[in-house]
Structures are given as C-alpha cells and as structure tokens.
C-alpha cells in the first residue's frame, strides 16, 4: 500500500525544515505530496514560507545561503534532498521563479535556447520551441525582440515557456499571477491547465490569488508561519469557512472571527 | 577575560552608546595604549623605526580610507594621490618657513580640497565605475606630479623634507618620530571611534546602504559624500606629510603611485570594511608579513643549503602580498576585523555558549 | 597641416588601438558572463607571454607549438582561478571582487617574476621589422599582424556568442538565479569565460611581448585595456574593437599635438582623460547594455 502511494506521488516532501544563514528557520516541518499528473496549489500569505518550500524542492536555496536542515524530499522515488539544482532540472523539476525573471537582454527565442538541456539535439529544440509557440502565440509574434521590453504577461509566458524547454515532469510556479491583469491571469492559468491535460505534466503552484488558483487545481495546501495548517481537495478548501473569510474574501469578517481563527491557527501549528 | 558580559547592564541610551560597552574592551584598549606609550623603552630602536612607525602612520591613513570606503561605501582607488597632495603641500609650506604645526594642517586642507574633487565623481557614479574613475584620477595626479618640477622638486624628482619641529621642539630622534606617529594614530582612532556614535557616522552608513533611501529620510547624500571625501582626504594628507617627515625624509612621486593606492585599499579590505581594529590588523599584515616571509625563505634556504636566485627573492614578497589578499578574502570576505569579532564574541560568553544547543 | 603625416599617425594609432582591443576582449568576456571586472587581466597577459616563452626556450618547442600549448595551459589556469577564488565570492559586493582580482593580479605578477626573473626577454616571433609602405605611409608589420589577430578573435567571439553555449553565457550574465532555475551551470559558464579570457591573454601576451619585450611592463596595459573596455561598454565585444580603434587614434594624434606643449609623455594623460570622460558622460559606453527599467 505504502509503495503504491509512493508510485503515485511524483514528488513527496516529508517534514522538511529550512534554515537560512544557519539561524533563520523559514519552514518548520512542511510535508507536501504531488500526485502524478495533478495540479496542486500552495496557498498562504506573504512570508508564510511558500517560496522557500519551492526553493527547497528545486535546490535554489543554496543560492540564498539556505539549507535543508531536516526532512527529506523524494522525486519519483529518488532522494533528492542533497542534489544540485542542475541535477534536479535534469531529472525533471523546473522552477519558474517569482517575479518574471526572464533574461532581459536576450530575445525570447534566445531565452528558450538558453534553457535547452545539454545534449538536446537541434531538431528536438526546434520542435520544443514550436510547441511552446503553439501554447503561447503571443511569444511567437515577438520572438526576436528584446525580452526586457515585453509586457508583463508576455514575460510570464516566456518564463513558463523557458521552463518547458527543460522538458520537466514537475513544473513549479511561484506566483505567476503577480501584478498581472485578471484576464491575463485567466489566460495563463488556462494554458497551464491545457499543458497539464495534454502532456500529463504535474504542476505545483504557489499563489496568493487563492480564488484563481483553486479554480484550476485539484488539491491545495495552506501554509502559515512555515507550517502546513490545512490540506484538502480544492472543493473542500473552497467550502471551508475560514478559507472563505481570510483568503477568498467576501463574507463578513469581524473581530470575533479573527480571534477564533488565530486560536485555531495556534492549535494547528 | 571570561564572563565579560556578566554584570554589564545598559539601562539607558547614554550608557548604551558609550565607546566601550564592555569594561573588558576598555581595559584591553588601555593596556594596549600603555604598551604603545612604553614601546620606545621596550622595543629596540631598529624595530621601532622600521616596523612600528610605518605601521602606525599607515594605520592612520588606512582609517581615513576606511571612513570613505567602509563607512560611506565609496570605492576609492586614488587614495595615494590624495596623500601625495598633503605630503607635497605640507613640505613645500615647511620649506617656505611655515611652522610644522601649520604646515601639516595646510597639507591636510589642501588634500581635503583636492580630495573633494574625487567626490564629484562619486556623485555621478558608484561601485565599479567610481573605482575606475578614481583610478584614472590617480594616474592624472601621478602625471601632474612627475611632470611639474616645481612640485616634485626639480630634475631628481625628490624633495628634501625640512627637520620636523612641533611645539618649538625639533624632532630628530627615533623615539621622537615614534611619538609623533603614535599621537597622530591615536588621534585618528579616537575620531573614528566617536564617529560611530554621531549623526554624521550614521548618515554615512545610511548613504552607503542605499543613497536614495537615505535621501528619502532627509539625509542629504550629496553633502555627506563630499564631507566623507573631504574628511578622509584631510586624514590622508596629514598622514602623507607625516610619512615623509618621519619616515622617508625625502618625497618622491613613486611613494604615492597607483600601487600604493591599491596597497592602502588592500589594507582596509583585508582588515575589514568599517572595522577600526581591523585596519590595525590589515596594515600589519600587508605591510609586515611579506617581509617576514621573505626573511623566513632566506633563513630556510640557508639552513637547507639551497641557493635561491636573487631575482626570485626580490619578487617573493610581492607574490606573498598578492596571495595574502586572495587568501584572507576567501577565508573571511569581511576581513580580519570580522575574524577578531568572531573570537571576541565567542570568548564573551564562554563557556556558556557550549550549552546553547 | 601635413595630411600624410596625420593619416600615418591615425592609421598606426588605429592598429595600436586594435592591439588594446586584443587585451580588452579578455576583460569583456569575463564581464559579459559574470559582471565581474577582471583587474587581473594584466597579470594573466604577463603569465601568458611567460608560459609561451617557457615552453619555447626552456622546453625547446617551436613557437607554432608553444603558443597553442600555452593556450591550453592558460585555459586550465583560467578555469582554476574561477574554481578556487571567484566562486567563493560570488554575490559579494563589488569592492571585494575588485580587491580579489587586484590581489590575483599582484600574485600572478609576483609569482611569474619570482620564477622567471625580471629581465626583459624577447618573443622573437619572426615577423620582419622592415616597415610596410602604403603609399607614403609607414606601417609596422607586427602591428598589422596583431590587428589581424584581434579582428580574427573578434569574429570568432561574435560567432561564439550566437551558439548555444554563448547564449547560455549571456543568460548567466543577465540573471544568475534564473539561470540556475533552468538548469544552466552558472559555475561552469563563469569558469569557461575565465578560461577563454586566459586564452585571449596568451594572444595579447605574444603580440605585445613581441612589440615591447616580455617583462613586467606587460601588466601595465591594464589601464589602456580598461579604458577601451569601458569606452566600448564593458560587455560588448564589438564595442571593445571600435573603442580600441578610437582610443588608438585619439592617443596617437593627441599625443602628437600635446607632447610639444607639455614636454612629452602625454599618452597616459590622454588615456586617463578618456576613461574619466567616458564614465562621467556615458558610463555604459558606446555599445554597453543599459539596465532595462520598464515602467
């Protein structure tokens, strides 16, 4: 039974703790499972530890002088807790980092080339590019202009496209909706859903825009203060009254509820 | 020595902003000061003159550069040129008959004026570009110096310094020179220690961290950058003048070349940006260790009966000097001052930190 | 005004300028891939020249073999420098990185001289010293050869930066974190740029060694190389070539006018002035990338 669960989960993260600079405890025992071919969301407010969770998975912690001090991460059954970022990308984990960090002085086309894995043949690369331009026709139109001058939405598409060139099995996105107009968010999320369906790509999505995220994912985790405080299917989360009040908006929030929620949070963590 | 923090409670801001927050630090400093005072009676005159004296003057100079680079965060690769300005104007003034006390101040002020020119570059660019501009300015200064016989002292390009006399007392002995250097170094150190506690020091740090954020808080970064350059140049000028008056006795352009600028910067960075005690360490390391290593190599090769080429021996100190910079930066980019700080912090609570985990 | 003389000054200036470019290309390569200003390029150039000589004189290889072999050795040295030193300081403030490269420069120079001594040696490439005449204009052959090498390297690197590896290096220069996130090995990329710059240093060392002798003075090219690199824009190879020509012409023609006025030696002054003016007026140089700030 246990093995079967392992096989279904492409990624499994077990009570991971992350320390920055050897002193700051950013996440305190987070466990997250991503079933193969599904879309999962990590929700939570600023500084809750969502980005750190993603960086722990992609191995980018090292660049920020952080390290995993406890717990383990397995990807397709292999332990990757100590693996280099580069190795993890080769294995099929790609992380679209926060803030649309495209290579500004390169053209979109060169951005895609830069991400090509070592040893990918020219024809495969071209096929990949065609496929990505198929998903994001706007990029194809502007493939030879400078990436730094693309619009915010186009940059986000380019960042996602660039990640797809690495032929990931698990795609992690850090706040793709940040600073984008709602219709663009919808467009990008729609494309993500399409890629997820067409290619069976597993997706781990970090979002503050819980409303939009819960529309496309199957399960969600709520992280607060470096801990997972809630986990359930998208439906269950959407109908949870606390989530509704504090993350989805709407409803009357009064001090009594806030107090009640804080108490529950303490209890959970 | 141990338990130094026990019993130290600062209950108000005045006591918390004292120079020495921990009594042990004050005692240690007083002890070192006394050793410094007694040095001429303890240390043989040869060592006093060829090691202690340059060490102290270069430390004063390095503290000046630390003010502008460590505190205000402005890279400066033309510091030696500023020292040269001070040295030459002070010596010319002294030769003209101005009493040395005033000649030194004239040197410092001239340096401050010329040094502020560097600040105008700093107003426009920072980081790498500032470093390159100041480097180019150093070359221009060098050029002016070597190409104007009126400044550099005629065809031999060397200028004899008149005998140093302070407070009506001619200074000619090694002990006398030492005390002048010691006095100047102590003066600069006290100034720097106090700088930390003033609004000026805090404004400089604010400018270093983010000049436009400082500007938003009402810190006029324009004014403070110029002030930082002017103050550090004043220190540079007087240090340069004293260096010639008590150590070289003869001013020559190559005493203040690009290589010297790089050397002072190395002293500051190896010592630790913004660290006062670090500057003492940095100067000691950069100034003294290459010579010591060379001495060791000679002794070793003699002992082993090997013959080492004279050329090789002549260049070993340089290789060691370069290697020291690289090694220290790799071990601790924040310099020797930080290493000292780590040891101090460790001893401060020893042995209780053993139980922390 | 003697136009023949003036054009002779200009043409020779341009050729010398291309030799500065040869030096500056090394600086640009490293800056382009890692935004690190390599102040050790002078030391590297000196080491390059000495290694060629060591292989040619001390080992006794013919020059045509010694030069490529030296290039291989220096390629390794460049990689090594990145591995041992630069990698540890990645992400630190620029002042520390500047100091590190300065320390490297001093170390390389000191070590080279400690091993091979400070007496000037000659390269003896076998290029004839007979001048070429272009009409009435007198041109030095070795300068012509050097300019050719500089242009060849320029073309080679322009092509290189269009290859996949070249694009990855440019990506690294743009954003370390984003490069890591898509599996680009930043460390290997930066190492490669140091290795290539060290190979360029061999070329510069050989040509300059032939012109002015192989000795300590080779490292003094740094100021001119830096000026060319900054004027060209620090991360533009095309910029380095064009700025080299500009600086060479300005220096040669300017010195001819200024020298009688100030009593000689105005070349250094002109170079320093060009550097200061560039930084003050146009810090990103002729062809340098601006940092894009999109509103």
Give the start-to-end residue ranges of the domains of chain A.
2-268
Token pair for residue B58? 């270069």
Geometric angle at alpha carbon B290, from B284 and B291, rounded to 5°: 95
Q: Provide the 3-class DSSP secondary structure of residue B89.
A: helix
Range 264-283 of C in CB contact (< 8 A) with B: 265, 268-269, 271-273, 275-276, 279-280, 283
Residue A60 has its nearest CB partner, among C171, C181, C185, at C181
Rounded to the nearest angstrom, the minimum Cα separation between A1 and chain C is 34
- Max CA distance (Å), chain C: 62
Say what the alpha-carbon torsion angle A214, A219, A223, A229 is, to the nearest 10 degrees. Answer: 120
Nearest to A187, CA basis, from A154, A144, A234, A209: A154
B79-99: pLDDT as tens digits: 999 999 999 999 999 888 888
What is the average per-residue pLDDT within C269-277? 91
Q: Confidence class of residue A265 from pLDDT cuts 50, 70 and 90?
A: low
Q: Do C276 and B269 touch (CB under 8 A)?
A: no
CB atoms within 10 A of CB B268: 33
Contacting residues of C for A148, CB less than 8 Å apart: 292, 294
Q: How confident is the model at residue B312, as a pLDDT? A: 80
Token pair for residue A103? 């290579």
The owner of tokens 């020509």 is C245
* Residue B133: closest C-alpha in chain C: C276
Q: How confident is the model at residue A2, as a pLDDT? A: 46
Q: How confident is the model at residue B325, as a pLDDT? A: 92
A123-147: pLDDT as tens digits: 999 999 999 999 999 899 998 898 9
Q: Which residues contact residue A28 at a Cβ distance below 8 angstroms, ignoring those fewer than 6 apart?
A: A17, A225, A226, A227
Mutate to test the interface with C, among B273, B315, B320 (most CBs of C within 10 A): B315
Provide the sign of the torsion angle of the four alpha carbons B135, B137, B140, B146, taken in this order: negative
Range 220-239 of C in CB contact (< 8 A) with B: 223, 226-227, 230
Rounded to the nearest angstrom, the minimum Cα separation between B249 and chain C is 28
The DSSP result for chain A, as a single string, is -HHHHHHHEEEEEEEEEEEETTTEEEEEEEEEEEETT-EEEEE--TTSSHHHHHHHHHTGGGGGTEEEEEEEEEETTEE-TT--HHHHHHHTEEEE-TT----TTS-HHHHHHHTPPTT--HHHHHHHHHHHHHH-HHHHHTTTS-GGGS-HHHHHHHHHHHHHHT--SEEEEE-TTTT--HHHHHHHHHHHHHHHHHH--EEEEEES-HHHHHHH-SEEEEEETTEEEEEEEHHHHHH-HHHIIIII--S---HHHHHHHHHHHHHH-
Q: How confident is the model at residue A269, as a pLDDT? A: 45
Q: Provide the 3-class DSSP secondary structure of residue B97.
A: coil
Contacting residues of C for B121, CB less than 8 Å apart: 276, 279-280
Q: Do C176 and A63 touch (CB under 8 A)?
A: yes
* Residue C259: closest C-alpha in chain B: B147
Rounded to the nearest angstrom, the minimum Cα separation between C289 and chain A is 8
Q: How confident is the model at residue B271, as a pLDDT? A: 92
Sketch the domain layout of chain B as residue ranges: 45-355
Q: How confident is the model at residue B356, as a pLDDT? A: 44
- Check whether C108 has a pLDDT greater than 50: yes
- Check whether C290 has a pLDDT greater than 80: no
C121-160: pLDDT as tens digits: 887 777 777 777 777 778 888 889 999 999 999 999 999 9
Residues counted in chain A = 269
C175 touches chain A (CB under 8 A): yes
What is the average per-residue pLDDT within A170-183? 89
Q: How confident is the model at residue C36, as a pLDDT? A: 86
Task: Give me the domains of chain C, ranges plus CATH numbers.
Answer: 3-281 (1.10.3470)
Q: Do B133 and C276 touch (CB under 8 A)?
A: yes
Q: Do A96 and C181 touch (CB under 8 A)?
A: yes
Local structure of residue B6 (DSSP, 8 states): T
What is the layout of strands, in order, in the sheet containing A78-79? A24-35, A9-20, A66-75, A78-79
Mutate to test the interface with C, among B117, B129, B136 (most CBs of C within 10 A): B136
Range 84-123 of C in CB contact (< 8 A) with A: 91
Q: Give me the total of CB pairs closer than 8 Å, taking one residue from chain A and one from chain C.
A: 83
Q: Is the bond leading into A137 cis (omega within 30 degrees of zero)? A: no
In whole angstroms, give the CA distance from residue A30 to residue A72: 10
Residue A95 has its nearest CB partner, among C170, C181, C292, at C181
User: In chain B, which residues have pLDDT < 70?
Assistant: 1-7, 154-157, 350-357
Contacting residues of A for C292, CB less than 8 Å apart: 104-105, 146, 148-149
The DSSP result for B196-236, as a single string, is TTSHHHHHHHHHHH-HHHHHHTT--HHHHHHHHHHHHHHHH
pTM as predicted: 0.86
**Around C195, how many Cα atoms within 13 Å sit in the side-chain half-sphere?**
14
CB atoms within 10 A of CB A238: 17
Q: Do A63 and C180 touch (CB under 8 A)?
A: yes
Local structure of residue B254 (DSSP, 8 states): G
Q: Do C181 and A163 touch (CB under 8 A)?
A: yes
The span from the first CA to the last CA of chain A, in angstroms, equals 29
The 3-state secondary structure of chain C, one letter per residue: CCHHHHHHHHHHHHHHHHHHHHHHHHHHHHHHHHCCCCCCHHHHHHHHHHHHHHHHHHCCCCHHHHHHHHHHHHHHHHHHHHHHCHHHHCCCCHHHHHHHHHHHHHHHHHHHHHHHCCCCECCCCCCCCCCEEECCEEECHHHHHHHHHHHHHHHHHHHHCCCHHHHHHHHHHHCHHHHHHCCCCHHHHHHHHHHHHHHHHHHHHHHHHHHHCECHHHHHHHHHHHHHHHHHCCCCHHHHHHHHHHHHHHHHHHHHHHHHHHCCCCHHHHHHHHHHHHHHHCCCCCCCCCCCCCC
Q: Do A114 and C180 touch (CB under 8 A)?
A: no
What is the average per-residue pLDDT within A221-238? 86
Q: Do C164 and A116 touch (CB under 8 A)?
A: yes
Rounded to the nearest angstrom, the minimum Cα separation between B103 and chain C is 30
Q: How confident is the model at residue A158, as a pLDDT? A: 93
In whole angstroms, give the CA distance from residue A31 to residue A26: 14
A2-43: pLDDT as tens digits: 444 545 789 988 889 898 877 788 888 889 999 988 999 998
Nearest to B270, CA basis, from B328, B192, B330: B328
Rg over CA atoms, chain A: 19
| CATH class as words, domain B45-355 | mainly alpha
Q: How confident is the model at residue B346, as a pLDDT? A: 77
Q: Which residue would you say has higher pLDDT here, C259 or C21?
A: C21
Q: Do C114 and B316 touch (CB under 8 A)?
A: yes
- Check whether C204 has a pLDDT greater than 90: yes
Q: Which residue would you say has higher pLDDT here, A61 or B308?
A: A61
A71-119: pLDDT as tens digits: 899 999 889 888 888 899 999 999 999 888 899 889 999 999 999 998 8
Contacting residues of A for C294, CB less than 8 Å apart: 148-149
Return the CATH fold of A2-268. Answer: Rossmann fold (3.40.50)
Q: Confidence class of residue C7 from pLDDT cuts 50, 70 and 90?
A: confident
In whole angstroms, give the CA distance from residue A259 to residue A132: 48
Q: State residue B125 phi and psi, 5-degree precision.
A: -135, 165
Q: Do B329 and C100 touch (CB under 8 A)?
A: yes
Contacting residues of C for B312, CB less than 8 Å apart: 114-115, 117
Mutate to test the interface with B, among C84, C107, C215 (most CBs of B within 10 A): C107
Q: Confidence class of residue A259 from pLDDT cuts 50, 70 and 90?
A: low
Mutate to test the interface with C, among A57, A86, A89, A114 (most CBs of C within 10 A): A114
C294 touches chain A (CB under 8 A): yes
Q: Do chains A and C touch (3 or more CB pairs under 8 A)?
A: yes
B/e letters for A141-173, b = 16+ CB within 10 Å, e = fewer, are ebbeebbbebeebbbbbbbbbbbbbbbbbbbbb
Q: How confident is the model at residue A255, as a pLDDT? A: 62
Q: Do A105 and C177 touch (CB under 8 A)?
A: no
Q: Which residues contact residue A252 at a Cβ distance below 8 angstroms, ignoring those fewer than 6 apart?
A: none
Rounded to the nearest angstrom, the minimum Cα separation between B356 and chain C is 30
Provide the sign of the torsion angle of the four alpha carbons C18, C98, B147, B249, taken in this order: negative
């Amino acid at each position: 039974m246990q093995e079967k669960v392992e096989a279904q989960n492409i990624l499994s993260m077990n009570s991971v703790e992350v320390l920055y600079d050897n002193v700051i405890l950013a996440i305190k025992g987070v466990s997250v499972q991503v079933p193969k071919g599904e879309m999962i969301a990590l929700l939570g407010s600023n500084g809750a530890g969502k980005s750190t969770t993603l960086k722990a998975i992609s191995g980018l912690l090292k660049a920020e002088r952080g390290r995993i001090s406890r717990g383990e991460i397995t990807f397709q059954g292999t332990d990757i807790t100590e693996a280099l970022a580069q190795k993890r990308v080769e294995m099929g984990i790609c992380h679209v980092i926060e803030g649309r960090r495209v290579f500004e002085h390169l053209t979109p086309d060169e951005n895609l080339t830069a991400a090509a894995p070592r040893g990918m043949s020219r024809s495969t690369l071209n096929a990949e590019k065609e496929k990505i331009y198929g998903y994001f026709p706007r990029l194809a139109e502007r493939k030879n202009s400078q990436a730094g001058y693309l619009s915010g939405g186009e940059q986000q598409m380019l960042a996602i496209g660039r990640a797809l060139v690495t032929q990931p099995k698990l795609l992690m996105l850090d706040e793709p909706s940040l600073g984008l107009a709602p219709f663009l968010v919808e467009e990008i999320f729609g494309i993500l859903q399409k890629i997820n369906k067409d290619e069976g790509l597993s997706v781990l999505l970090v979002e503050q825009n819980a409303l939009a995220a819960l529309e496309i994912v199957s399960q969600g985790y709520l992280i607060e203060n470096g801990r997972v405080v809630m986990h359930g299917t998208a439906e269950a989360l959407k109908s949870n009254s606390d989530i509704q009040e504090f993350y989805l908006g709407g409803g009357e929030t009064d001090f009594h509820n806030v107090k009640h929620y804080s108490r529950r949070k303490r209890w959970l963590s | 020595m141990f338990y130094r923090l026990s019993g130290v409670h600062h209950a108000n801001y005045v006591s918390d902003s004292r120079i020495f927050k921990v009594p042990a630090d004050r005692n240690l400093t007083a002890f070192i000061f006394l050793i410094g005072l007694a040095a001429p009676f303890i240390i043989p005159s040869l060592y006093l003159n060829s090691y202690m004296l340059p060490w102290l003057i270069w430390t004063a100079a390095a503290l000046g550069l630390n003010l502008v680079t460590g505190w205000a965060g402005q890279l400066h690769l033309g510091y030696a040129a500023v020292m040269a300005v001070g040295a030459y104007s002070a010596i010319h003034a002294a030769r003209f008959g101005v009493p040395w006390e005033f000649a030194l101040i004239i040197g410092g002020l001239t340096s401050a004026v010329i040094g502020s020119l560097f600040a105008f570059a700093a107003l426009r660019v920072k980081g790498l570009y500032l470093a390159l501009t100041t480097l180019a300015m150093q070359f221009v200064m060098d050029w002016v110096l070597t190409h104007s016989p009126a400044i550099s002292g005629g065809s031999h390009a060397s200028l004899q310094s008149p005998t140093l006399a302070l407070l009506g007392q001619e200074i000619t002995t090694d002990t006398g020179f030492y005390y002048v250097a010691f006095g100047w170094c102590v003066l600069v150190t006290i100034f720097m220690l106090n700088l930390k506690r003033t609004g000026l020091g805090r404004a400089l740090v604010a400018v270093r961290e983010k000049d436009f954020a400082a500007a938003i808080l009402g810190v006029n970064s324009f004014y403070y950058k110029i002030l930082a350059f002017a103050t550090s140049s004043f220190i540079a000028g007087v240090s340069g003048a004293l260096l010639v008056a008590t150590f070289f006795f003869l001013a020559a352009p190559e005493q203040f070349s690009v290589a010297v600028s790089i050397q002072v910067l190395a002293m500051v960075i190896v010592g630790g940006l913004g660290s006062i005690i670090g500057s003492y360490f940095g100067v000691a390391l950069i100034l003294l260790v290459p010579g010591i290593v060379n001495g060791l190599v000679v002794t070793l090769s003699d002992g082993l009966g090997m013959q080492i080429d004279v050329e090789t021996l002549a260049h070993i100190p340089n290789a060691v000097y370069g290697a020291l910079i690289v090694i220290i930066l790799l071990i601790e980019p924040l310099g020797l001052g930080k290493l000292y700080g780590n040891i101090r912090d460790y001893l401060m609570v020893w042995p209780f930190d053993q139980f922390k985990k | 005004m003697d136009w023949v003389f003036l054009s002779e000054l200009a043409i020779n200036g341009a050729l010398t300028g291309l030799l500065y470019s040869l030096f500056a290309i090394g600086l640009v390569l490293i800056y382009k891939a890692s935004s690190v200003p390599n102040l050790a390029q002078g030391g590297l150039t000196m080491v390059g020249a000495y290694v060629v000589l060591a292989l040619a004189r001390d080992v006794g290889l013919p020059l045509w073999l010694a030069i490529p072999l030296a290039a291989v050795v220096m390629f390794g040295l460049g990689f090594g420098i990145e591995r041992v030193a630069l990698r540890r300081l990645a992400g630190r403030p620029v002042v520390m990185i500047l100091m590190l490269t300065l320390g490297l420069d001093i170390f390389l120079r000191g070590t080279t001289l400690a091993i091979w001594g400070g007496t000037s040696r000659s390269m003896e490439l076998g290029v004839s010293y007979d001048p070429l005449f272009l009409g009435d204009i007198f041109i030095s052959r070795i300068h012509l050869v050097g300019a050719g090498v500089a242009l060849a390297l320029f073309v080679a690197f322009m092509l290189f930066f269009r290859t996949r590896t070249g694009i990855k290096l440019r990506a690294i220069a743009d954003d370390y974190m984003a490069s890591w996130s898509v599996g680009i090995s930043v460390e290997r990329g930066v190492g490669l740029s140091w290795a290539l710059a060290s190979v360029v240093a061999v070329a510069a060392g050989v040509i300059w060694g032939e012109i002015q002798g192989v000795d300590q003075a080779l490292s003094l090219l740094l100021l001119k190389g830096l000026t060319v690199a900054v004027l060209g824009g620090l991360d533009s190879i095309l910029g380095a070539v064009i700025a080299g020509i500009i600086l060479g012409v300005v220096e040669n023609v300017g010195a001819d006018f200024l020298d009688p006025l100030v009593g000689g030696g105005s070349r250094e002054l002109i170079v320093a002035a060009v550097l200061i003016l560039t930084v003050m007026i146009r810090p990103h140089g002729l062809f340098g990338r601006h940092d894009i700030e999109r509103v």
